[in-house]
Structure 1
Amino acid sequence: MSMWSSVLKALENVYEDGANEERGIASSLIDKMENYEFVFVMHLMIYLLGITNELSLALQQKDQNIVLAIHLISTMKAQLQEFRDNGWDNLFKEVNLFCENQKIPLSNMEEHVKVRGRSRRNGETISNLIHFRGGIFCEV
């Protein structure tokens, strides 16, 4: 997240100075980055990668200690469950604050959106809250 402004600036430079195809790609990437769901998933992934980092490093060592690896797996599972049980409010606040600071529109959690993987004709919708909390956050 510390590189957010730099990445956006680089994409803006490509948009201003690039060929037509590059401009289109840069514009599309800016649009995707300045989207609430992108920011939400980015924050979620940063947290998840932080939890799994120690296990990842341990498994990459040549002299792997299986007892340590099993302990780290148990610890990681407990941390993930704790995050599922008690991490939503903090993550939600962190994402909203980031979006406000970056002038990214917040998602209205009461607004209904179509269910992914379903045709609009079927009319199936869920609230953004269910989408973000149940469909993304709790799936971790």
Structure 2
Amino acid sequence: MTWIFWAVLSAVFAAATALLAKVGVSGIDSNLATAIRTTVILIFTWAIAIAFEKHHALAQIGRRSWVFLVLSGICTGLSWLCYFRALQMGPASSVAPVDKLSVVLVILGAWLFLGEQLTPLKVGGASLITIGAVILAFA
């Protein structure tokens, strides 16, 4: 299985997340909804790590990896809090495309900070994503 398979599967689950979360946040505080979701993810992911006996590698993780993983976790949490609040306030069909502007930000960040190539096709694709997100958000 290639990275494309896993990326498509991620997109399918992300779409399901948006649809299920939109119904789930109805009538409750979005921060509480995020806390519930995060607890489920915490239990689920640790169960997988333990089931596949990957938890033994914790001691081998370097300091740099810990720092970046913790920072990534903080950003994930902030993203989810904002996403659930946006879903509570707006239509899922508008919130999700705006959220996917993260793709454009990743392309720019990967070019600026990770040294990835910024090709004309990537610029064109990122431009189309931006235009599409704006159109869908206000349609």
- Bigger RCO (CA 8 Å, 6+ sep): 2
Q: Which has the larger radius of gyration?
A: 1
Structure (1 or 2) with the greater helix fraction: 2
TM-score w.r.t. the length of structure 1 is 0.29
TM-score w.r.t. the length of structure 2 is 0.29
Structure (1 or 2) with the greater strand fraction: 1
